[in-house]
Chain A
Amino acid sequence: MERRVDLPSALSVYLIADAGLTAKSGRPLEEMVERAIEGGVTAVQLRAKELPAVEQWELGRRLRALTASLGIPFFVNDRIDLALALDADGAHIGEEDLPVAAARRLALAASRPEFVIGFSTAVLEWARQAVAAGADYVSVGNLFGTTTKPDAGRPIGLGPLTEIAREIPVPVIGIGGITDWSAPLVIEAGGAGVAVAAHVIESRDPAAAARSLAQAVERAKEGAAAAAGDFGNQLPERFADATPPQARSKRSGPEGSAPE
């Protein structure tokens, strides 16, 4: 039976398990991730670009087993081959990584039509092109300033996310320096959730950090639903439908000019 990730809700509190982060605490990343899930994290992404492939694989296996046992979706950053090898629920790619259409092609060829593909951008046109090429969600950042990613660029605030969330038909999340006080702003701007890394993983109590973040997001979502009255109707049809999109645009853009 094909696995289904309930996307909008899975994105509420999205933990980036960045392999560079626990160097400070010395505690294993899996331990921090487990505590964070207990506190309310709804999805986990492995980000370990600087590790040798075999170590990414070993760490990924442990995180895949952990998330599967706790019923949490697991995504892998950048490497589609690793994501498929680990039987992850999907992959997350950035503007410089493989084109979305290429990632989708590989997933389909590996008999994973339900494979989730997330895309990072702060540019509306590129978000549109990514969706046209098959992206299932978009992550917008660096919102408020991050310590985790050295090349994240200067903070952009909520403007781009607000615009992108309004214009594209897939869920949008925010990333970059998000904390309890700013998480509700992301939801109010139209975000489906928040992605965090150091805020939870480098916390003295990852479970507590995740819990208060999750509560802030939940409260904000209830508030936004009450205010808008039709939050539920903004969910695109395709998330209720098991059939993956078949026709993909071949336009270039964040897709570059890679061969089809």
Chain B
Amino acid sequence: MFMNKWWWKILCIVLLVYAIAGGFLLPVPRKPVVEESIRNLYFHVCMWFAMMILFTASVVQAIKYLRTNSLKYDILSRQYAVMGIVFGVLGYATGMVWASFTWADPNNPATASFAAIARDPKLIGAAIALLIYFAYLVLRDSIQDMDKKARISAVYNIFAFAFLFPSIWIIPRLVDSLHPGGNGSGNPALNFNDVDPRMRLVFYPAVIGWTLLGVWIVSLKVRMQNLKEKSLIHE
């Protein structure tokens, strides 16, 4: 079974050690205002990338459930969504710390700075998207019957996933934004002009590493749940 294999877990550890060590030791471009904190690209941005990949995995499992009615896909779908939410919240928290050092204008009073930051479309979009996934968890808990729960939440999952695209990716790029990529200037992380090639060396492996960490934790949770259910049946 994929979940019990060790090779991708070792790969995850190696990639993340590389991301942490290389993230601080390897050179980065010197940009005003951001300065060294541009290295947060390997952490904050990776959290959001990992969240997207985990939510994609969640919706794939949801569709698999709808096609086969096999509850194991429903369990996987839920756990991937939970880990996606965890990474999303971490992405928000790391973003808050980063913003307090870069976007917060020391010349303005704290409330004016906060107001300017809170109006950023990507922040609002990401908050709405995460709230929709929180509602997915609430929806699941509100239905008693296992099959009904799985079917209704799978359909909701597809809607929640589809909403990610306009709210986090499309609208924040069309309007004025504090984040890079605003006003139609394209995708900053995957655009070859925007990410310095030195940073790409650490950034791409870091995305894979953080995603694998999310997958590892999902596999542990699913295995634990399966064990609990097996021991309940045997009692």
Asked if A pairs with B, the answer is no
